[in-house]
Structure 1
Amino acid sequence: MPRFCLTDAQWAKMEPFCLGEPTDPGRTGSDGRLFLEAILWIARTGSPWRDLPPAFGKWNTVFKRFRDWVKADVFKRMFDAASDDPDMEYAMIDATIVKVHRHGQGAKGGPQSQAIGKSKGGWTTKILALTDALGNLVRFVLLPGQRFDTVGVAPLIEGVEFGALLADKAFDSDWIITELNKRGAQIVISQHPRRSAPIAIDMELYKARHLIQNFFCKLKEFRRIALRADKTDQSFTAMIRLAAALINSR
């Protein structure tokens, strides 16, 4: 199944963060590359874990190992390794909505315990992302679908240096403008029609914003992400990080 296979270069970046050794007993140290490819098969196809092809091993063993790695923040470290040299000449911020599949509902505590909310599209989750000048993911946060985009901006830009910030008019907020002025960062945010004194922006630079849209398109090629099928934010975040690590390292 070559479509789901990691390249040697991608595996070289991820291998140091795999838990266990091949000689370890049980599920801890079995073939790490095959295990990651099993998760990618699930992510790409959107299939239930029970439908995992036998070539990848027993589905319940793979699922339990996935949850072990999620709890140990392995996928965060893999994503960080694949995203360690961002081009921050400018940054882009935007959000995309994903519908929550029936398999993604029913977590303990109900939807209110996860980033799942009721919007016009039904039960949805919002992925708010910050990318670099190449359109590669730097950070993201999950929000319930009905929340305003600006709610998650502060943790995305905290401690991140960039020369300019590109965004659409959903992010034309006074506090964001003030924060960018404090930083001395160029403001390339489409102005809301209701703004009394619109800020002149570099429209040629603004055109580069299509790169973050391209990133979302690539991310949604993974059906398990496009139709959120993970009950918990923790597992959904891990799936996004693994997919983004592949996208960033292409």
Structure 2
Amino acid sequence: MRVGLARRLVPDGLWNLVEPLLPPFAPRPQGGGSAPLDDRAVFTAVVYVLTSGCAWRSLPPEFGVSPATAHRRFYTWTRAGLWRRLLQEAAARLSSQSEADWASAIIDAAADRAGR
């Protein structure tokens, strides 16, 4: 994926806020599988789906993340309360109004998808 698109979807300020909130990757208990993907790449793919409204299965391959992986991480992060914690952190720490607006849009989209 182009770095420019990734930085527009998830600016550095937003990523610095999100990264410490992400639960650690948990390998499958039965073993096997592939190595975990970069969290920022997966988060960017999830943000794309949430903000564009596209179906998970329509995630463009340029993100380097399979639709199944993006959806599975979205589900895992939702169960772990990421979106609620991100909202709390954004309200408390973001100084840039544009980043706060962007974080709010992502959280609203995540809440909408998680509620379905």
TM range (shorter): 0.5 to 0.7
Pair 1:50 & 2:53 matched: no
Q: State the TM-score, normalized to the length of structure 2.
A: 0.64
* Aligned ranges 1:30-69 → 2 under 5 Å: 30-56=37-63, 57-69=65-77
3-state secondary structure, aligned to 1:34: helix
- Whichever of the two has the greater Rg, that structure is 1
Give yes or no for contact 1:50–1:59 (8 Å, CA) kept in 2: yes
Q: 1:64 to 1:85 in 2, by over 3 A?
A: closer
Q: Distance in 2 between matches of 1:28 and 1:71?
A: 22
Give yes or no for contact 1:42–1:52 (8 Å, CA) kept in 2: yes
* Aligned ranges 1:73-222 → 2 under 5 Å: 73-84=81-92, 219=105
The percentage of aligned residue pairs carrying the same residue is 24
Q: 1:32 to 1:19 in 2, by over 3 A?
A: same
Query: For each residue in 1:183-235, what CA deviation from the matched residue of structure 2 results, as whole angstroms up to 9, or x when unmatched?
Result: xxxxxxxxxxxxxxxxxxxxxxxxxxxxxxxx7xx84xx7x94xx6x3xxxx1
Report the residue type matching 2:92 in the other structure: D
CA RMSD of aligned residues (A): 3.4
Partner residue, 2:13: 9
Q: State the TM-score, normalized to the length of structure 1.
A: 0.33
3-state secondary structure, aligned to 1:82: helix
Q: Which has the higher contact order (CA 8 A, sep 6+)?
A: 2
Q: What stretches of structure 2 of length at least 5 have no aligned partner? A: 28-32
Q: Distance in 1 between matches of 2:15 and 2:60?
A: 21
Higher strand share: 1
Aligned length: 97
Report the residue type matching 1:40 in the other structure: V
